[in-house]
């Protein structure tokens, strides 16, 4: 049985990854979830696994050297899946510092602890691997409708968020190049699915629409993102962790490009299709809620991933078409409105007022 150390396991992708792994591979793995529980971390997401023998939660800051080393000294960790991060571009534009602390220094700390615990006189203990979960945003932006990011595309981050993620990637690369540290870097496109915090486009629009609130579209709404259903991403990470060639970077995406305005329009239409005829919220939802607002500073125009390498080497392809994934996602939010109510109480209200003046 392999022991996976999952950082940021109480966040959106981390909690989906733990739930996915516990469902699909529960006999083969033990998971230790390390998370400091920022505004984005929520243990409620993991209720269904918290009593399982092969799952353990530890409230630890990845920047805490002693605490992180202690985890490696206590448990025989086979895989590190490093999700923990500050992850929202808009927040990074307002407050870059915490992004450098968590995303760069936190990664360095984790790398050092794994290296120290895994290294031997002539290399590393067998079958150990560190996975840096990164983003396509490190490649910068594609300016037109054509072209894709490849693993060989030069890094050219624009936001403080993507700069911090690119810095972390370069640290991982330096550990591979200098110390032959056993690692992979994965760079995925925009994820969507259950448990995503409503600061990101899709859950924010679902929540606002259900409450008859305006739907703030930045700039022209013509910016393009490549959307990946979170379970497809989880399977890709598992494959890279188990079968990826050491030292390699793998892009994860699905040729699922959509303009932001298309996404918002689809959310409105799908909500109206899915809500029962007698549901009073239907009266609140219409295309008139769409409100164009001031553009994000430095707003990257288009992201698009070429996932050819992971397909060729590991046989991975996304299996969830957007038309299906968006329905699964909306259905989850409709069934979990109490989750949404809890996470949008308190601090979220201040965040929303500061970010959106509509």
Is 223 a residue that touches ligand TYD (CB under 6 A)? yes
Closest separation between CB of residue 175 and ligand TYD, Å?
26
| Residues of span 250-279 touching ligand TYD by CB under 6 A | 260
From the list 19-27, 73-81, 138-146, 215-223, the region that binds ligand TYD by CB under 6 A is 215-223
Is 63 a residue that touches ligand NAD (CB under 6 A)? yes
Is 309 a residue that touches ligand TYD (CB under 6 A)? no
Closest separation between CB of residue 119 and ligand TYD, Å?
35
Closest separation between CB of residue 139 and ligand TYD, Å?
13
| Residues of span 234-253 touching ligand NAD by CB under 6 A | none
Residue 77 interacts with which of ligand TYD, ligand NAD, none, CB < 5 to 8 Å by class: none
Is 35 a residue that touches ligand NAD (CB under 6 A)? yes
Is 344 a residue that touches ligand NAD (CB under 6 A)? no
- The residue count for binding ligand TYD (CB under 6 A) is 12
Nearer to ligand TYD, 9 or 157 (CB): 157
User: Residue 204 — φ and ψ, nearest 5°?
Assistant: -65, -45
| Residues of span 79-108 touching ligand NAD by CB under 6 A | 83-85, 87, 102, 106
Closest separation between CB of residue 312 and ligand TYD, Å?
26
Residue 260 interacts with which of ligand TYD, ligand NAD, none, CB < 5 to 8 Å by class: ligand TYD
Is 200 a residue that touches ligand TYD (CB under 6 A)? yes
Which residues lie near ligand TYD (CB under 6 A)? Answer: 89, 190, 200-201, 204, 216-218, 223, 225, 260, 296
């Amino acid at each position: 049985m392999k022991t996976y150390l999952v950082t940021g396991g109480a966040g959106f992708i981390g909690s989906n990854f733990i739930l996915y792994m516990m469902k699909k591979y529960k006999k083969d793995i033990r998971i230790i979830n390390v998370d400091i529980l920022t505004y984005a971390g929520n243990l409620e997401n993991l209720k269904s696994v918290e009593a399982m023998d092969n799952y353990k939660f530890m409230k630890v800051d990845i920047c805490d050297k002693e605490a992180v080393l202690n985890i490696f000294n206590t448990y025989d960790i086979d895989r590190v899946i490093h999700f923990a991060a500050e992850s929202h571009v808009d927040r990074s534009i307002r407050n870059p510092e915490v992004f450098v602390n968590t995303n760069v220094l936190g990664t360095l700390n984790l790398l050092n602890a794994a290296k120290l615990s895994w290294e031997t006189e002539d290399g590393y203990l067998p079958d150990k691997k560190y996975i840096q979960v990164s983003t396509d945003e490190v490649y910068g932006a594609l300016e037109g409708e054509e072209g894709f990011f490849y693993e060989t595309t030069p890094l050219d981050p624009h936001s403080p968020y993507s700069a911090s993620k690119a810095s972390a990637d370069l640290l991982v690369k330096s550990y591979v190049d200098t110390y032959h540290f056993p690692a992979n870097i994965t760079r995925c496109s925009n994820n969507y699915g259950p448990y995503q915090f409503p600061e990101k486009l899709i859950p924010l629009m679902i929540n606002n629409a259900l409450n008859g609130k305006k739907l703030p579209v930045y700039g022209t709404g013509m910016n393009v993102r490549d959307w990946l259903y979170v379970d497809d991403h989880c399977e890709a990470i598992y494959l890279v962790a188990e079968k990826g060639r050491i030292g390699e970077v793998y892009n994860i995406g699905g040729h699922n490009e959509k303009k932001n305005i298309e996404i918002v329009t689809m959310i409105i239409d799908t909500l109206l299709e899915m809500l029962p005829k007698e549901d009073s919220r239907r009266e609140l939802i219409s295309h008139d809620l769409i409100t164009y607002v001031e553009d994000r500073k430095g707003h990257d125009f288009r992201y698009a991933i070429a996932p050819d390498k992971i397909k060729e080497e590991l046989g991975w392809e996304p299996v969830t078409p957007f038309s299906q994934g968006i329905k699964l996602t909306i259905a989850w939010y409709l069934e979990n409105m109490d989750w949404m109510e809890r996470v949008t109480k308190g601090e979220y209200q201040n965040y929303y007022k500061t970010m959106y003046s509509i």
